[in-house]
């Protein structure tokens, strides 16, 4: 459950959800030069949380993202706990919030994009791919 730093001090420039709703692509820019530096694809997305602090006077994207991180889970207990803590809605629970009848997965990955004007959490069944463009 170690958190791995994928990118630091970047600008998030674009989010694309594929037409089938299963994958999300994120594009990042160098925060000083504005040139594309990385693209990340999350496949088999189960849960996506997006929050921002934009107001009417803000430009929106591209916006600062201090950290892009990855946590991977492989034990059934850690996966169930993570889904519960992220408020994943499509699982059966008892009255105490414990998962019942949840189909076991071999792995689950949590991508976090935080530390700026956006806060994003993505839970996906496949290891995200990060392509550096530098």
Query: Where are the chain's structural domains?
Result: 3-132
Do 129 and 38 contact (CB within 8 A), yes or no? no
Per residue in 40-72, pLDDT tens? 999 999 889 998 887 777 677 888 899 999 999
Do 78 and 86 contact (CB within 8 A), yes or no? no
Average pLDDT, the chain: 85
Confidence of residue 75 (pLDDT cuts 50, 70, 90): confident
């Amino acid at each position: 459950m170690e958190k791995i730093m994928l990118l630091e001090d970047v600008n998030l420039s674009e989010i694309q959800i594929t037409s089938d709703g299963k994958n999300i692509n994120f594009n990042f820019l160098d925060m000083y030069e504005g040139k594309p530096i990385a693209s990340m694809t999350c496949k088999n997305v189960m849960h996506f949380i997006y929050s921002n602090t934009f107001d009417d006077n803000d430009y929106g994207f591209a916006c600062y993202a201090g950290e892009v991180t990855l946590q991977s889970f492989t034990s059934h207990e850690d996966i169930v706990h993570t889904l519960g803590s992220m408020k994943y809605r499509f699982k059966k629970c008892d009255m105490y919030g414990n998962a019942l009848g949840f189909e076991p997965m071999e792995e689950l990955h949590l991508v976090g994009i935080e530390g700026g004007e956006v806060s994003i959490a993505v839970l996906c069944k496949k290891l995200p791919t990060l392509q550096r463009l530098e």
